Amino acid sequence: MTILAVETSCDETAIAILRDGELLASEVASQIALHAATGGVVPEVAARDHLRTLRPTLNAALEKAGVALGEVDAFAATHGPGLATSLMIGLSVAKGLAVGFGKPFLGVNHMEGHLLSPFFKRGGVRPAVGLIVSGGHTMLVDIESVGSYRLLGQTQDDAAGEAFDKVGKLLGLPYPGGPNVNRIARDGNTTAFDFPRSMIHSDDFAFSFSGLKTSVRYLLPKLAEVPLADVCASFQEAIVDVLVTKTLRAAQKTVRRVVAVSGGVSCNTRLREKLTAACAQRGLELFLAEPSLCTDNAAMIGYVASLRLALGDTSPLTVEIDPNLRLVA
């Protein structure tokens, strides 16, 4: 079974081709340089760049995989959540190809792609607590099996990645702020500033990071007097402490022995370090998505499509984009 997947939910134009569980090609055309001038994604600019780069990205993936379009057995694309103008482009292309070649089509939830990406090349999906932590989402999910999920909790305001990027911008760091905060934090003191760990002791699995961002803003007048690395390290530690504490608590409550972590922020070296140590201490298996599968990519969309196809699922060609699509109804 050869699957071609398209991902254009935000600012990455991505095409992937999988055959019987093997990733033959995963091409991503990044728009980071394009949005650096504004310090954030402009939907109209993102959509226009998807139109410009989608065909060459598709051709590059086909060439790398050594596959012709006529050899593809099914086409898949993200249909939500995301930016409406971006989603329309990828979904339209995938549906058009499915119609043109008379093949099945699958609309895939972007969040399900992230959620299941840690299981790629690990022999299939297992019961686990899943932490999705990205620029747009921070949530804990109880995973029973493919398609069977229970939302445990999510952010009430900013996502963790959004807080990273906004604080990076406040501190005058290049776009995107998250990776740069992580880089500078390596040389800083994690206890230099006692930033708030909002909701860390709450009885639920909700998150809140807007207050942390505000605390950093209050420091701005004093930035000339304090090491930037200490600010970054202390800020990062506050986010990581909340994520690790709540994830382990969720694993304990659900009695899951596997923790699966995905999303762009899961590339953060401090988060990986503290999760690895904490899970090892408690005898939990930690599945971290491969770095190439953490940020937006089509390989995770193709992986979910392959799992769904194996269950006999397909999508009608009438499926539309849903910018606010939920993982759990």
Helices and strands (H, E) in the chain, number of each type: 11, 10
User: Which pLDDT score is estimated for 39?
Assistant: 87
Q: What percent of the chain has pLDDT over 90?
A: 96
231: buried, middle or exposed (CB in 10 Å: 19+, 13-18, 0-12)? buried
In a domain, 327, yes or no: no
Q: 46 and 131 in one domain?
A: no
Give tens-digit pLDDT for 239-290: 999 999 999 999 999 999 999 999 999 999 999 999 999 999 999 999 999 9
Question: Is residue 265 located within the same domain as residue 227?
Answer: yes
**Distance separating alpha carbons of residues 102 and 72, to the nearest angstrom:** 10
Residue located via tokens 């740069």:
180
- Is 242 within the bounds of a domain? yes
Q: Same structural domain for residues 140 and 281?
A: yes
Q: Are residues 38 and 91 in the same domain?
A: yes
Statement: residue 329 has pLDDT above 80: no
- Whether residue 57 is found in the same domain as residue 148: no
Q: Residue 9 is part of a domain; what is its CATH number?
A: 3.30.420.40
Q: Are 32 and 76 in contact (CB under 8 A)?
A: no
Within a domain: 120: no
Which residues does residue 27 pair with via DSSP β-bridges, in sequence order? 15
What pLDDT score was predicted for residue 59?
Answer: 98
Structural domain contains residue 75: yes
Identify which of 88, 4, 18 has the alpha carbon closest to the alpha carbon of residue 50: 88
Based on the fold, state whether residues 132 and 246 are members of the same structural domain: yes
250 and 301 together in one domain: no
Task: Return the residue matching tokens 């999705």.
Answer: 132
User: Could you tell me if 134 and 253 lie in one domain?
Assistant: yes
Task: Give yes or no for a contact between 196 and 212, defined as CB atoms under 8 angstroms apart.
Answer: yes
Within 1-155, where are the H helices?
32-35, 43-65, 84-101, 110-116
Q: Which pLDDT value is given to residue 37?
A: 86
- Here the contacts of 90-93 (C-beta below 8 Å, separation 24 or greater) are 90/6, 90/7, 90/8, 90/9, 90/13, 90/50, 90/54, 91/6, 91/8, 91/319, 91/320, 91/321, 93/6, 93/54, 93/58
Residues 24 and 138 in one domain: no
Count of domains forming the chain: 2
Q: With CA atoms as reference, report the closest residue to 303 among 114, 46, 35.
A: 114
Q: What is the pLDDT of residue 306?
A: 98
Residue 329 lies in a domain: no
Contact indicator for 142, 150 with CB cutoff of 8 Å: yes
Question: What range defines the domain where residue 48 resides?
Answer: 2-115+294-310
281 is a domain residue: yes
- Same-domain pairing of 95 and 219: no
